[in-house]
Amino acid sequence: MFRTLKMYFGNRRTRTRNFCISIGLFFCIIYIIRVNHTGLYIVKYPGDQQNRNFDEYLMKYVNNYWTKTDTKKILFWTPFFNSWVWLDDAVKALKTCPVSCSVTNDRATLEDSDAVLFHANDLWKHKGFFATIHNVDVEMPNTRSPNQIWAVLSWEPLMYMWGTIKPHVFNWTIMYRRESTIYNPFTSYYKMSDEELNQQPKAKETTNYFKQKSKFATTLVSNCKDQARRYRIIKELQKYIDLDYFGYCSGNINCPAGVPASECGHKHLKHYKFYLAFENSYCRDYVSEKFWNAVDRRQIPVIATTKYNTELLPPKSYLNVFDFPNIKALAEQMIEIGQNETLFNSYFDWMQSYKVDSTSSYCRMCKELHANRPAQSYADMEGWLQDDVCYKSTPWSLVSEFLDRLMFDLGF
Ligand SMILES: *[C@@H]1O[C@H](CO)[C@@H](O)[C@H](O)[C@H]1NC(C)=O
Ligand SMILES: *[C@@H]1O[C@H](CO)[C@@H](O)[C@H](O)[C@H]1NC(C)=O
């Protein structure tokens, strides 16, 4: 090591030369990172993502008829991020479901179960920091009853694919992707029927949300580095608007020690007119709870997403960074809305004809178990999971994120 260094910095002439090369390389790296930020000069528009047919991954069988039972039994095979909390959540959620399902994690009930549920991220046991290369596939059920559904659920994009998935193991996917067997977004909305419209309390239509907001804009971010490089948009916006930036990375945590930022946030956040609900990566179809929480607090969400994803959002309910030529134009629009009561309230007009649908994932699954779908299985589940037009974490992407954050902190 010492010898290599000595050789590198050798005599005076080579020392000067090598020093110059190092400086040159350093600026090359900065340049490469900077040209990545085209479009808004800050972040790159991820490009439009077309609707596609994903049937190539599937194998559909002729209709078969399931045993008709009143209550479908679901066996939770894996935990959810190593925790069984999701089982309790399911018990609670299924109480208000119009169809009946029972849930358990007792593996002795395997043969008797109508469905076996796996949480995607828990299909592999990850081993520490080197999770991407060191993993263990979870133990799978050793028998399979005919007509039993094996379903994989995930609420979030799979950043890593740790293990292997054999063909024709899983029948259903329950995910945020529109092409999943059971489309399972965090929240969705639907157009109200005439009957529902008539039942709407009139008062709701005239609620003045503007009056309830005393502050301008806020955001809460806990990851300092991310693929979408949210921190660049935030910093640029701060030049033009009054933005209260909370969370681990902002240096302004404002949370009692030990209270998770997400919990202490909600109470404070609702006083703001705008909430920056940027996702940490660009994934087709992925709209996280950030957006819907802002809607729930009656704030206008400011998002950075593709046109394809905005199809999933209520009409005129948000501001999308990529709809503006630059951040300054976005800021000006925010300021205009923030001063105009009528304009601000109009971002909630959609609530007069649409309703938020918060059917739980468990109830969605239960309904499908009662629906006698034609049989199918994923011939290439791994292919399907990889083909999600979504960010995949690789060693290089981690380095690139780290470098971009470093450059950002250095003021580049
Ligand atoms: C406020 O917004 C409404 C609706 O866009 C518009 O008609 C009105 O002229 C605006 N008022 C002011 C003072 O700009
Ligand atoms: C589930 O997948 C298995 C394995 O490919 C298959 O034999 C079975 O028919 C499928 N069942 C249903 C109900 O889709």
pLDDT digits (tens, 9 = 90+) for 10-46: 677 777 778 778 877 876 676 565 545 443 445 666 6
Residue 381 Cα to ligand 2 middle (Å):
13
- Out of 96-100, 134-138, 292-296, which region has the weakest mean confidence (pLDDT)? 134-138
Mean pLDDT of 259-264: 59
Q: How far apart are CA 15 and CA 18, in angstroms?
A: 5
Specify the residue with its C-alpha closest to ligand 1, atom 10. 340
Q: Which residues of 341-365 are buried (b: 16+ CB within 10 A; e: fewer)?
A: eeebbebbebbeebbeeebbbbbbb
Side chain identity at residue 184, one-letter code: N
DSSP assignment letter at 302: E
Tens digit of pLDDT for each residue in 317-372? 999 999 999 999 999 999 999 999 999 999 999 999 999 998 999 999 999 999 98
Residue 342 Cα to ligand 1 middle (Å):
7
- Ligand number nearest to the C-alpha of 373: 2
- Ligand number nearest to the C-alpha of 339: 1
- Answer yes or no: is pLDDT of 201 > 90: no
User: What pairs with residue 274 in β-bridges?
Assistant: 217, 300
Which conformational region is residue 17 in: left (phi greater than 0), alpha (psi within -120 to 50 degrees), or beta? Answer: alpha
Compute φ and ψ for 375, nearest 5 degrees.
-70, 150
Dihedral of alpha carbons 361, 185, 383, 162, sign: negative
Compute φ and ψ for 68, nearest 5 degrees.
-90, 105
Q: How far apart are CA 288 and CA 155, in angstroms?
A: 9
Residue 372 Cα to ligand 1 middle (Å):
53
pTM of the complete model:
0.81
SS (H, E, C) 200-264: CCHHHHCCCCHHHCCEEEEEECCCCCCCCCHHHHHHHHHCCCCEEEEECCCCECCCCCCCCHHHH
Q: How far apart are CA 35 and CA 30, in angstroms?
A: 9
